[in-house]
């Protein structure tokens, strides 16, 4: 009986955690509303609504962000400002 209660408690805890919104889920939802662009040193986004910024990780491990934009304007995060290149696949639009 004690084992059943422990199993049930673990299941309730796991289901409860699965229902909590995460940053990753929010980024996926935001990404659907944003159009990305990038080259070897820059990542940019144009999103609906706003305000939002472009955020990107560079190959030297630093994170850069662009200026605030809204309503389809472009925000660009420049890895060149930290002497690096854009790490492809790490950029996203972040609503602020």
23-95 folds as Immunoglobulin-like (2.60.40)
Whether pTM exceeds 0.85: no
Residue 92: the pLDDT is: 96
Q: Do residues 41 and 8 lie in contact, with contact meaning Cβ atoms separated by under 8 Å?
A: no
Distance CA(50)–CA(80), nearest Å, equals: 25
Distance CA(44)–CA(93), nearest Å, equals: 8
Q: Can you list the residues of the chain whose pLDDT is less than 50?
A: 1, 4-28
Residue 58: the pLDDT is: 98
């Amino acid at each position: 009986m004690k084992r059943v209660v422990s199993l049930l408690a673990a299941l309730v805890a796991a289901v409860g955690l699965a229902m909590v919104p995460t940053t990753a889920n929010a980024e996926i939802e935001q990404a659907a509303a944003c159009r990305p662009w990038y080259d070897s040193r820059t990542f940019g986004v144009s999103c609906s609504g706003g305000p939002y910024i472009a955020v990107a990780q560079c190959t030297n491990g630093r994170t850069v962000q662009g200026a605030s934009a809204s309503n389809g304007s472009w925000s660009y995060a420049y890895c060149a400002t930290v002497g690096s290149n854009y790490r492809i696949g790490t950029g996203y639009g972040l609503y602020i």
